[in-house]
Structure 1
């Protein structure tokens, strides 16, 4: 295969991004939220389209993210193809995920496949480097290493060895080091491990058969949950003698912390990020809901992240420790770990506007042509008011149209369905009343999305 030919792509779209809480939540992690312009997932999909057609792209993600992935591809004006999205029944780290994706391209075992994470920020110029590395991938498992600009302790390092075409044979992998070791690695010419790979299915499975045969031989997806949870670095690359590294000089960040997000964002003359009225303030990050007035006086090196339901304040040097907050909230079964007030569904989204023990108010948005499941609630009634668009409502066998400004009532126990047959989004206000208002009070009788 020549360097100018097209290559196939596996996109890894799992991961939880706990250090970016409260922006990142378990049911909507950092790759699916708009940290910058587009989401990181959408940026990764666009990058893949530079060298792969839609039928040459496979996405491996958690089952909880299925409709986030599909909705975000559709937002790009692309069609989601049948069997393009592989749904992990449980998280098993990167080696099993890559193996499943590579299995889908095993029909042409010598055709190179690039593996991109979808939760990293990667600058322009990545695709040409990947295409130039195709000849090297015929002989080696290729990984890409970022040229460091400082001794970072949060990244793994790759030490280059003998020169090979446009890269080097890997001499050693180093786990996340302390400061002194990071400085030594840089003096030795080591590169940051970017988690980007290029390999042929044939070579991948040959090496996988040697060092992780239970993964190479697994029947997927049936045996996926039985596989060990192991990274591709530890399970394969650090053990194989056929690994090469290609240096990257394009801008790159894993956006793993708010400190990394600060570095990747536009800053003012005093090194501040965010829309706020600032006086004698420097080195701070402010992220808050649109339209909220924020001011700061006489502070420095602070991170202030404000969402509808959570507020984080920490020093810029402690952003790695946000994970500890999530762990404590998780132990308390706090819902802010799981979801935002704005929750995405395959048919659209809903935003919780207000709630108490016995009522909850939502703004519901239903996409054109979409419908909620045929369902029933045992413990709550619902009052619907159409704000814009036109709703097609089915309640206990009776169908009616609700134009803008009209409303209807769904008693507890009624079998009902809401549908948008119009050409514009349907916006509704829903008032739930009952003694139990959790989302698991739902019995589905029919659902076009297979839930």
Structure 2
């Protein structure tokens, strides 16, 4: 069985924690490891990393590589979608890759899963996955259903039909309901939340795609590389709409005795972190006489007094305050910010790059101060700037700086100045991360003031 992990989404429901530059799958919400890392480890008992395919995009490629390296899963396959085209084309691309690159036969079973859900206990989930594989080998497309715990209006539902030796036939899929309808589903007892996980053999899914979405089926048949070349022309459609809601081969396998949370809103995060009083406190927080309140801090002290039914999410550049139960409306705020072309949508105070990261410490007219971390063995591009000079001071580690045709080694407490228009490159030849403070001066300090001459990561824009 091959595991297909969908990790290309940018997500907006967890703003300001999640940004387009740092989406939900990379967040460390429940535990020390990211949701993506937890997803990979969830399957390691039934599949080796080399049998996992991470579908992402070029923007997140090096971040995914870093995440995999941290948990010893470097052998996992990474496929970058040329453009976002929803789950049906993504699954088609995964099938083409497994067949053409990994040499899978039509009987190979694929388990498709989001990368940003919380599921436990892992051992019980793996048992469900093995049952799903057996059902898929019988020609079924299996979806995993979660038993509703409340009349949730934020999820789609699966209506279970006749019982099968394993699981049930799918009677129908239901869109996100209103509260009254969700309550009726809960009382009926044969409805399940749709968790977006599917298990099927390659042959079965290709046949259903040929029947219901032939343009995707034809693209898969054209070969993996050809599909990549013409990916943008494929329909932007989910696998639910393309196949699941039409197919007669659908089966639902209930995830009995398993906790599932899609971490799809701040209310979901509050549920994960809540104590016996319903409070979810994380960070440097002092809370007095607060109830049913979530406070997520970042790098400063937050004091809460007499708060009730509130959510407070603090990041270095954005503070979100909302009433409990209103977190689905975060998307509206994000839309307003997009329309206003606010940089907070796409940027974070800390930005990750293939070579490491940088954090903006201060900025104003004519200056910007950053803390830059360069990982061992990594280096920035050979570049110059037309509008700014830079001054670097090493905090820790050893840096190697190229200035025109000269090379300078500088260590802790030593500095280097880069004038406007001078070719330069910074790299870390050492064994520990290189940390520097960079002070930029100039009339224009945008990240696009870069002319590249050489880059080991193949980038054209942004450092």
Q: What does residue 22 of structure 1 align with?
A: 16
Is 1:232 aligned with 2:227?
Answer: no
The answer to whether the 8 A contact 2:30-2:272 is kept is no
Q: What does residue 185 of structure 2 align with?
A: 185
Of the structure 1 ranges 303-312 and 281-290, higher mean CA displacement relative to structure 2 is found in 281-290
Summarize the alignment of residues 345-364 of structure 1 with structure 2, pairs less than 5 Å apart.
Answer: 345-364=353-372
Summarize the alignment of residues 60-139 of structure 1 with structure 2, pairs less than 5 Å apart.
Answer: 60-80=55-75, 84-106=77-99, 107-124=104-121, 125-138=124-137, 139=139
Summarize the alignment of residues 416-427 of structure 1 with structure 2, pairs less than 5 Å apart.
Answer: 416-427=424-435
Give 3-state SS (helix, strand or coil) of 1:450's partner: coil
Mapped partners of 1:145, 1:270: distance in 2: 27
Normalising by structure 2, report the TM-score. Answer: 0.93
The answer to whether the 8 A contact 1:8-1:51 is kept is no
Deviations 1:5-25 (A, max 9, x none): xx2110000222211111000
Q: What does residue 222 of structure 2 align with?
A: none
Deviations 1:161-194 (A, max 9, x none): 1111221110000010001111222233100000
Mapped partners of 1:425, 1:173: distance in 2: 50
Deviations 1:355-408 (A, max 9, x none): 112111000000001111111111111100011000011010100100111111
Which of 280, 283, 293 is 2:289 aligned to?
Answer: 280
Q: What does residue 258 of structure 1 align with?
A: 266
Mapped partners of 1:108, 1:49: distance in 2: 22
Q: What does residue 207 of structure 1 align with?
A: 208
Deviation at residue 268 of structure 1 after TM alignment:
4.8
The answer to whether the 8 A contact 1:10-1:102 is kept is no
Summarize the alignment of residues 152-171 of structure 1 with structure 2, pairs less than 5 Å apart.
Answer: 152-171=152-171
Mapped partners of 1:53, 1:270: distance in 2: 39
Q: CA RMSD in A?
A: 1.3
Give 3-state SS (helix, strand or coil) of 1:154's partner: coil
The answer to whether the 8 A contact 2:50-2:75 is kept is no
Summarize the alignment of residues 211-360 of structure 1 with structure 2, pairs less than 5 Å apart.
Answer: 211-218=212-219, 219-249=226-256, 250-275=258-283, 276-290=285-299, 292-360=300-368
Mapped partners of 1:288, 1:273: distance in 2: 8
Which of 46, 64, 81 is 2:41 aligned to?
Answer: 46
Mapped partners of 1:397, 1:158: distance in 2: 65
Give the 4+ runs in structure 1 shifted more than 4 A. none
Normalising by structure 1, report the TM-score. Answer: 0.96
Which of 416, 421, 432 is 1:413 aligned to?
Answer: 421
Unaligned runs of at least 5 residues, structure 1: 1-6
Mapped partners of 1:98, 1:273: distance in 2: 38
Give 3-state SS (helix, strand or coil) of 2:229's partner: coil
- Count of aligned pairs between the two proteins: 442
The answer to whether the 8 A contact 1:158-1:170 is kept is yes
Q: What does residue 151 of structure 1 align with?
A: 151
Deviations 1:314-350 (A, max 9, x none): 1012111111111111111111111211111110000
Mapped partners of 1:90, 1:324: distance in 2: 24
Mapped partners of 2:413, 2:81: distance in 1: 43
